[in-house]
Structure 1
Amino acid sequence: MEQQNILKFLAIQERDYLRALAEIKAGSKQGHWMWYIFPQISGLGTSINAVQYAIEDLGHATEYLSHPVLGPRLIEISNALLSVEHKSANQIMGSPDDLKLRSSMTLFSSVQRADEVFQKVLDKYFDGKPDSRTLNLIGKS
């Protein structure tokens, strides 16, 4: 991932990460931060934010997870999701952000030696089923 892309995520997360984490811990996403807190593979979304914050490929997803700030943040907020009880992904995230969450978790669970939290989110909220479009785009279908 180019340094410019890393800086883009760091800058926007500096503004919204703690708010996003608090919303997830409260079990109710309110803000408009989905694209850069739970990024997806390029080719899924067409909005300006979806394109701007898309992860280009599995190699870039690996670099994102390896980053000393971005990786731990994604793991932390994903673990916070696992702590929410008695709610579906749709109840927590709303639609279509629940679908974006599934795509993001599919992408990052596909990274070699990824933290198991991403698969656990898929297990808890999506019956363990990954997003097929994401798998197609990363060549894992």
Structure 2
Amino acid sequence: MNDNTSSASLERFVQAQQRDYAQALAELQAGRKRTHWIWYVLPQLRGLGHSAMAQRYGIDGRAEAEAYVAHPVLGPRLVACVRALLSHPELSAQEMLGEVDAMKLRSCLTLFAEVAPGEGCFAEALDTFYGGQRDASTLALLAT
């Protein structure tokens, strides 16, 4: 994936986040997700979810994940959201996000911990909310 392709592919996230990134961050800072934005704010690999939204906003492999976390808008927003979650260590991921979205978060954290090991918030959140257990399905997809 070249720079032009990665920028173009990531535009779907930038456009989606224009609508409600501020709302998503506020919900995470409050410790309770209330609206629907998980797919494009805390994305996971394509192939893990089966809904139209999961397919549209699924990350298309390691290269796109690396481009996402390096993106000047998306990367800092992702880190800010994870840090907002980490500000509530007394709550479980399930309490903050609900059971299904807590599974999506684990996949998201696993993906970005793998592709951006220098940004420690992803591994820290895995430790805090999942006992350090990474998502096996995400790891398997990354290995292919």
**Alignment-derived partner of residue 80 in structure 1:** 84
**Alignment-derived partner of residue 111 in structure 2:** 107
**Alignment-derived partner of residue 136 in structure 1:** 140
Give yes or no for contact 1:108–1:114 (8 Å, CA) kept in 2.
no
- The answer to which structure has the higher helix fraction is 2
How far apart, CA to CA, are the structure 1 residues paired with 2:73 and 2:41? 12
Task: Give the paired residue count.
Answer: 140
Give yes or no for contact 1:40–1:55 (8 Å, CA) kept in 2.
yes
Matching residue's letter, 1:137: L
Displacement after TM superposition at 1:95 (Å)? 1.8
How far apart, CA to CA, are the structure 1 residues paired with 2:16 and 2:7? 14
Displacement after TM superposition at 1:112 (Å)? 4.2
Structure 1 residue ranges without an equivalent (≥5): none
TM-score by length of 2: 0.93
2:74 to 56, 65, 70: 70
TM-score by length of 1: 0.95
How far apart, CA to CA, are the structure 2 residues paired with 1:3 and 1:59? 12
Deviates more, 1:118-127 or 1:105-114: 105-114
How far apart, CA to CA, are the structure 1 residues paired with 2:52 and 2:136? 23
Q: Is 1:50 aligned to 2:54, yes or no?
A: yes
Alpha-carbon displacement from aligned partner over 1:67-112 (angstroms, at most 9, x marks no partner): 0000000001101110014210000000200000000000000014
1:124 to 122, 128, 131: 128
**Alignment-derived partner of residue 31 in structure 1:** 35
